[in-house]
Amino acid sequence: MSDFINEINRRRTFAIISHPDAGKTTLTEKLLLYGGAIALAGSVKGKKTDRHAVSDWMEIEKQRGISVTSSVMQFEYDGYCINILDTPGHQDFSEDTYRTLMAVDSAVMVIDAAKGVENQTRKLFKVCVMRHIPIFTFINKLDRDAKNPFDLLAEIEDELGISTYPMNFPIGSGVDFKGVYDRGSKHILSYERGDGQHEIEAIEADISDPSLDSLIGERNRLQLMEDVELLDGAGDSLDMNEVSSGRLSPVFFGSALNNFGVEPFLKGFLEMGPSPLPRECEDGIIEPTDSAFSAFVFKIQANMNKAHRDRLTFMRICSGKFERDMEVYHVQGDKKMRLSQPQQMMAENREIIEEAYAGDIIGVFDPGIFSIGDTVCSPGKSIRFEGIPTFAPEHFARIRHKDTMKRKQFVKGATQIAQEGAIQIFREPDTGMEEVIVGVVGMLQFDVFEHRMRTEYNVEIINEGLPYQYIRWIDNEGIDPKKLNLSSDTKIVQDFKNNYLLLFTSEWNIRWALEKNEGLLLSEFNRN
């Protein structure tokens, strides 16, 4: 196999999703530990120590204990090159999660064994399903009292509508947690409360052998025999076609905090998880092994590091090989260019890269030319990948700056944050940027906006909540919206390309507008 093909085949690019507190950060950290990407796993979020989990770098994340943006990390393990994309756990940032999922080939879902499928898991999972990518499940915190493992599997199947295949099975939980039984090797991995820094050796054992009693206790052994009989009797098989299409999820049990079951999970995932997948573009399918380079922008982030004052654009490479200083063609801008200081991220640390392959994520400095969904490719090609849809905002507020002297910073901050796709901004017709109407998908995005305006742009803002919940673009050309017959609580606004939109307080008002104005065309997404 050529080095080029081998480089692509050994890549695994995946996102981690979970309800906040299920243990996503802890698991990520342990995975990084295996890859030698970090030297010591820190106690998450530093409640008990000063070490912060490496993927939790934004101040607001530390304050609130949630991940609000996705970070990207790469490490090597057992000959594989792994790209992990962290996703915001909170549903208010599900749009960010969706964009991140566009950039990966599989997802890992972390579930708290005591809580089962939680609200946010359900929502994030829906986003995963839209992409039809393989989903691997890690059921975490078995060292605490947990729900019955069969009930947990049934809950995943019923609530998420996906089949499950347990790769291993827990023996007890909480103070009685004795380890896991690996169904493939029929080995027992016995649990000892460790220091969380290394994995424990597996013990080869026949579960019908009473000598196991000294290790896991007779009651647990008999229970395990019964459980295994039930599992094997169910006769489900690990159908890799079902896994690949996202209909069957291989499930692993463990405890991320105690680093128990993490390495078997990692190994199983690497073996079964897909290498970079082909992507659809307007002219057909792009194979990762195509020699021409192509990549698309899925994330833009300004001021990641305050000391740098920069704007980074993240691209997922879909085909070919990227080399530093090579010339690329920016399709939407119709310009040839060199990507400036291409880098790979490890939370706050950046490393300039010399080369990267399909599956990799690169960050490049961006003076403001890229938008989400843009494509770059080898000159002479013109590849456009299927677009990344924007979610329609559901919450709106009128935003002004407190200090009139800060107008310039206000405009800059609002515009840049909107370009990142973190908020959408509108204005009332024929007004300037003195005040804007900001639309968000989740309320917490307002908090992040306010926080970032204060800390990154030094602007205090006034946020006046508005009652609107629905947004519609007017698709009719040349229509004068002021002449429309609208209910008194419907608002006309413009986006920054001067398209007209309507903000509604209820679906009833949308129907009213359509009924009273014949021929009016409204759409939930901006088609321009």
Of 192 and 325, which CB lies nearer to ligand G4P in the complex structure?
Answer: 192
Cα–Cα dist 517/508, whole Å: 14
**CA angle (45 as vertex; 42, 47 as ends), nearest 5:** 95
In angstroms, give the least distance from the CB of 57 to ligand G4P. Answer: 13
Of 112 and 366, which CB lies nearer to ligand G4P in the complex structure?
Answer: 112
Of 25 and 100, which CB lies nearer to ligand G4P in the complex structure?
Answer: 25
Of 141 and 381, which CB lies nearer to ligand G4P in the complex structure?
Answer: 141
Query: Of 317, 474, 303, 478, whose CA–CA distance to 385 is shortest?
Result: 317
Of 142 and 243, which CB lies nearer to ligand G4P in the complex structure?
Answer: 142
Q: What are phi and psi of 322, to 5 degrees?
A: -100, 135
In angstroms, give the least distance from the CB of 85 to ligand G4P. Answer: 14
Token digits of residue 524: 């939930």
Is the distance from CB of 253 to CB of 180 less than 8 angstroms? yes
3-state SS, residue 186: coil
In angstroms, give the least distance from the CB of 141 to ligand G4P. Answer: 4
In angstroms, give the least distance from the CB of 75 to ligand G4P. Answer: 18
In angstroms, give the least distance from the CB of 233 to ligand G4P. Answer: 30
Of 156 and 257, which CB lies nearer to ligand G4P in the complex structure?
Answer: 257
Is the distance from CB of 159 to CB of 122 less than 8 angstroms? yes
Cα–Cα dist 225/245, whole Å: 32
Token digits of residue 46: 């530093």
Of 175 and 405, which CB lies nearer to ligand G4P in the complex structure?
Answer: 175
In angstroms, give the least distance from the CB of 23 to ligand G4P. Answer: 3
To the nearest 10 degrees (0 to 180), the angle between helices 149-160 and 218-234 is 30
Cα–Cα dist 37/20, whole Å: 24
DSSP 8-class letter at 185: T
In angstroms, give the least distance from the CB of 160 to ligand G4P. Answer: 17
Token digits of residue 242: 């079902």
Measure CA 211 to chain center: 45
Q: What are phi and psi of 163, to 5 degrees?
A: -80, 160
Query: Of 295, 313, 528, 345, whose CA–CA distance to 419 is shortest?
Result: 313
Cα–Cα dist 121/89, whole Å: 8
In angstroms, give the least distance from the CB of 143 to ligand G4P. Answer: 5
Other CB atoms within 10 A of residue 52 CB: 18
SS3 track for 254-306: CECCCCECHHHHHHHHHHHCCCCCCEEECCEEECCCCCCCEEEEEEEEECCCC
In angstroms, give the least distance from the CB of 19 to ligand G4P. Answer: 7
Measure CA 305 to chain center: 20
In angstroms, give the least distance from the CB of 262 to ligand G4P. Answer: 9
Of 22 and 72, which CB lies nearer to ligand G4P in the complex structure?
Answer: 22
Of 45 and 247, which CB lies nearer to ligand G4P in the complex structure?
Answer: 45
Instruction: Name the site residues for ligand G4P (rule: CB under 6 A).
Output: 18, 20-26, 43-45, 47, 89, 140-141, 143-144, 255-258
Of 26 and 375, which CB lies nearer to ligand G4P in the complex structure?
Answer: 26
In angstroms, give the least distance from the CB of 144 to ligand G4P. Answer: 5
- Cα distance between the two ends of the chain: 45
Cα–Cα dist 348/302, whole Å: 13
Of 191 and 426, which CB lies nearer to ligand G4P in the complex structure?
Answer: 191
Is the distance from CB of 289 to CB of 5 less than 8 angstroms? yes
Of 257 and 302, which CB lies nearer to ligand G4P in the complex structure?
Answer: 257
In angstroms, give the least distance from the CB of 191 to ligand G4P. Answer: 11
Cα–Cα dist 113/104, whole Å: 26
Of 20 and 172, which CB lies nearer to ligand G4P in the complex structure?
Answer: 20
In angstroms, give the least distance from the CB of 138 to ligand G4P. Answer: 10
Strand order in the sheet with 491-494: 491-494, 500-504, 470-474, 522-523
